[in-house]
Chains A and B, each alone.
Chain A
Amino acid sequence: DADVTQTPRNRITKTGKRIMLECSQTKGHDRMYWYRQDPGLGLRLIYYSFDVKDINKGEISDGYSVSRQAQAKFSLSLESAIPNQTALYFCATSDRTSGRRRETQYFGPGTRLLVL
């Protein structure tokens, strides 16, 4: 079984709709992240969480919100979807105990979102 899972894997929605993307992990990591990827722009950080009570905005948080329901679950919501939120969304986890030089991130399989 995959260590980091995302649901749904693909989603088509209409402008103005509220949608939620979910992420679960079995790695036991304390840190979780949401990114979006657009062609040519690389991955950009939307929100991150270092534990259940810690939520932080990333580079491009406008139009998004998150919820850390448990250590293993981190959800991303688009309150009112718009077409320029069409992108590939990735959840990732990392383990702070691995030390700064070793701390890397493990990604889920991604959610492909199309906003019409």
Chain B
Amino acid sequence: RKEVEQDPGPFNVPEGATVAFNCTYSNSASQSFFWYRQDCRKEPKLLMSVYSSGNEDGRFTAQLNRASQYISLLIRDSKLSDSATYLCVVSNGGAGNMLTFGGGTRLMVKP
């Protein structure tokens, strides 16, 4: 079993739609959680951190459920520019605070 699992998609949605991605992680000792965005053939970039109480950044909302060990990302009012792969990332919180990456969920927003 992968440490961080995501549905690879693709999720094909029209502009203006609301779309949600989920991610599950296997290490219950994980400490920090992030969503990264990766455009085709480009480097991953931090989209947002995920906090225990949930957090919002504009059209993006992230939620964490420690009991069920899953993380979610909600995108409202999808834009064409949201088309990308979204990577769920988990940190082990140890001395090295190493990151483990999910395989990514691909989103395609259509006109």
Contact = CB atoms under 8 A, between A and B. Distances in A.
A104 B97 CA distance: 9
A43 B85 CA distance: 13
**Range class of the B interface residue count:** 20 to 34
Nearest to B93: A100
Nearest to A109: B43
A90 B43 contact: yes
**Range class of the A interface residue count:** 20 to 34
B47 to A, nearest CB: 10
A42 B45 CA distance: 14
Interface stretch (B55-63, B66-74, B76-84, B98-106): B98-106
Contacts of A109: 42-43
A51 to B, nearest CB: 12
Interface of A: 40-45, 48, 50, 56, 88, 90, 94, 96, 100-110, 112
